[in-house]
Amino acid sequence: MKRHVLHFLIVPVLLLLTIAGFAQTQQPIRIVMIGAHPDDCDIKGGGTAALFAAMGYAVKFVAVTNGDAGHQTMGGGPLAKRRFEEAQESARRLGIAAYHILPNHDGELLPSLSVRLEIIREIREWNADVVISPRPNDYHPDHRYTGVLVQDAAFMVGVPNVASDVPALRKNPVFLYFEDYFQRPNPFRPDVSVDITSVFDKKINALDSHKSQVYEWLPWIGNYATEVPAEGPGRIKWLATRYTRKITPEARKTLEAGYGKDKAQAAQHAESFEICEYGTQPTPEEIHRLFPMIKIQ
């Protein structure tokens, strides 16, 4: 009788230990997207972020500058405050965990040691598995230098005596680049492509939070301000059209590899990323673990 009682006590305990052990090995993936300005991550990776967030994974956006120069009539502290508030609303609409904005001036970013240390701390504090940033070739110096800063941080995140106030990572994240269309010195390569069709409306709704940018500054500097509709439902429809990007043939092939031909052909919107040569070099199996929304056929 005692043996039976002991059996009924041990089995549930072993089951709980097994479940706990499984949970420890299946920790939610932690992603940090790093852009130069408050809205860059939303534009380049908002759909992927929304998919990660819906799966319960931890997503943080970081803007390396505060955006205090990005407007035709506002500037300085008032604009930085407005853009901070817009970013927090965007994070709420996407469902991501955090949107950090570093106190560096828009248009004045340099790849300095002090900013590199800020980037290292952001990656470490998030215990990131995946880090996504711009490539270091871009029309905007802030974008270029953000790419350089993240590259410079890629190895240092594991060096304990650098930024020693935050514990060094015992793993090196996978570093990826946002998609761009620049051809020199080398064109973007879509190593990972994510079908964001199901969350495209959510991405556009998040971009709508950045009113100072999508309806004011970017149309003004891009000479299409007359196209922007007045306040109302027409604005969102216009915004969706404005931020619809054609899926390139190369990205379509990557979608096919992950989703199968039929689903890839049906995809209307996608976000693609290139694997950086720095950091952990993932196998295809590791990419599918890190991007579980990609439905392997």
pLDDT at 239: 98
The residue count for the chain: 297
Q: Which helix (H) or strand (E) holds 61?
A: strand 58-63
Question: Would you list the DSSP string of 136-192?
Answer: S--SSHHHHHHHHHHHHHHHHTT-TTSSTTSPPPSS-PEEEEE-----SS-----SE
Q: What is the pLDDT of residue 21?
A: 41
Distance CA 53, CA 93 (A): 11
| pTM exceeds 0.85 | yes
pLDDT along the chain (297 residues), means of 10: 45 39 61 98 98 97 98 98 98 98 98 98 98 96 98 98 98 97 95 98 98 98 97 94 97 96 96 98 94 79
Q: Tokens representing 112?
A: 């300095």
First-to-last C-alpha distance (Å) of the chain: 51
226-274 pLDDT tens trace: 999 999 889 999 999 999 999 999 999 999 999 999 999 999 999 999 9
Contacts of 127 by beta carbon, 8 Å cutoff, 6+ apart: 30, 169
Q: Which residue has the tokens 């041990």?
A: 10
- The pLDDT of residue 14 is 39
Give 198's Cβ-side CA count (13 Å radius): 11
DSSP classification of residue 27? P
Residues with Cβ within 8 Å of 106's Cβ and at least 6 positions away in sequence, in order, are 37, 65, 66, 67, 68, 69, 70, 142
Long-range contacts of 108-116 (CB under 8 A, 24+ apart): 108/65, 108/69, 109/36, 109/64, 109/65, 109/141, 109/142, 109/145, 109/146, 110/145, 111/145, 111/148, 111/149, 111/152, 115/64, 115/149, 116/149, 116/152, 116/153, 116/156
Query: How far is it, in rounded angstroms, from Cα 44 to Cα 132?
Result: 10
For 27-290, which CATH superfamily applies?
LmbE-like (3.40.50.10320)
Contact 231, 243 (CB under 8 A): no
- The helix or strand, by DSSP H or E, that contains position 133, with its residue range, turns out to be strand 130-133
Classify 98 as helix, strand or coil: strand
101: amino acid identity, one letter: I
pLDDT for 2 equals 47
Residue 188 token pair: 């973007």
What pLDDT, on a 0 to 100 scale, did the predictor assign at position 11?
A: 40
Domain map (residue ranges) of the chain: 27-290
Question: Who contacts 24 (Cβ-Cβ below 8 Å, separation ≥6)?
Answer: none
